[in-house]
Amino acid sequence: MIREPAFAGTFYPGSETSLKNTLQHLFESSASEENYSNIKGIISPHAGYPYSGKTASFVFNKLINQNFETAIIISPSHHEYFEGCSIYDGDAYGTPLGSVPVNKTVTEKLVDSNPMIFEGVKGHRQEHGIEVIIPFLQYVSSDFSFVPIVMGDQNKIYVDGLADSLSDVIDDRTLVIASTDLSHFYSHNNADKLDSVFEKRVREFDFDNLEENLRTGECEACGGGPTLAVMKALHKKGIVNSKVMNRTDSGLVSGDLSNVVGYLSALFY
């Protein structure tokens, strides 16, 4: 059972050739000489490629020489509410670049470790937060499996429970990805104020204050829960270094600075 792409042709190109060409252009435009060893986690935006693709490519560029076998992608649920965390119960996710198999071994460990984590299709049918990230991974690696997780509720109990379970399955060949955009539908200046708080907390690897800032509205992120879960899990594994690679907003692409969505990419190593 393959989860067929729902956003090919809208959020990103719908043909293999066009998608490869777009990704090549994005990776070329975000290339740099910086190198990071032992990258264990990243934050990536999940909007349409014309808006957030370049921001995302800054972190995926750094994975080209990284050896990962399993990617765990954690997305918020944009279209349906449910308690807990849903892992797709099918065999693979498809994109125009091919299908990526779901890692059933890691899935089983996560489900067995926590009653808040379950297998199913909840959150996966019309969710873009996982799908748009997969082609970036396919561009840098031809041989990996993944675990697609959608958080239906980002309450602290689910964040902490997921973080504990993730820390038990992360090994030397595992990459964890928090899928999130930042503030939505503010002016560019107001968005910058909110998003700079999120950036500061990520840059300082300060998930405690990030959690508080998200709670009080001092910053916003649709994937705040996935971000916190990834940071907490990596901290349990001794990963304490972070690097914000890029931050921007949709207005800098569209030219409309009155009503923007914020984007950030970062890596943990």
Domain boundaries, the chain: 2-268
Confidence of residue 37 (pLDDT cuts 50, 70, 90): confident
Pairing type for strands 2-3 and 145-151 reads: unpaired
Structure confidence by residue, pLDDT tens digits, 258-268: 999 999 999 99
**Rounded to a whole number, what is the distance in angstroms from the first to the last CA of the chain?**
34
Mean pLDDT within 217-225: 98
Strand, coil or helix: 52:
helix
> Phi and psi (nearest 5°) for 171?
-130, -170
For 58, the token pair is 């800054």
Q: What is the mean pLDDT of residues 52-72?
A: 96
Helix (H) or strand (E) holding 16: helix 16-29
24: tokens are 């090549």
Taking alpha carbons only, the member of 26, 25, 16 closest to residue 57 is: 26
Measured CA to CA, the distance from residue 179 to residue 224 in angstroms comes to 9
Across the range 195-215, mean pLDDT stands at 98
Q: Write the pLDDT tens digit of every residue in 73-82.
A: 999 999 999 9
What's the topology of domain 2-268? Protocatechuate 4,5-dioxygenase; Chain B (3.40.830)
Average pLDDT over residues 123-151: 98
Predicted confidence band of residue 65 (pLDDT cuts 50, 70, 90):
confident
What would the two tokens of residue 219 be? Answer: 């910053």
Spell out a b/e string for 183-205, using b for 16 or more CB atoms within 10 Å of the CB, else e.
Answer: beebebeebbebbebbbebbeeb
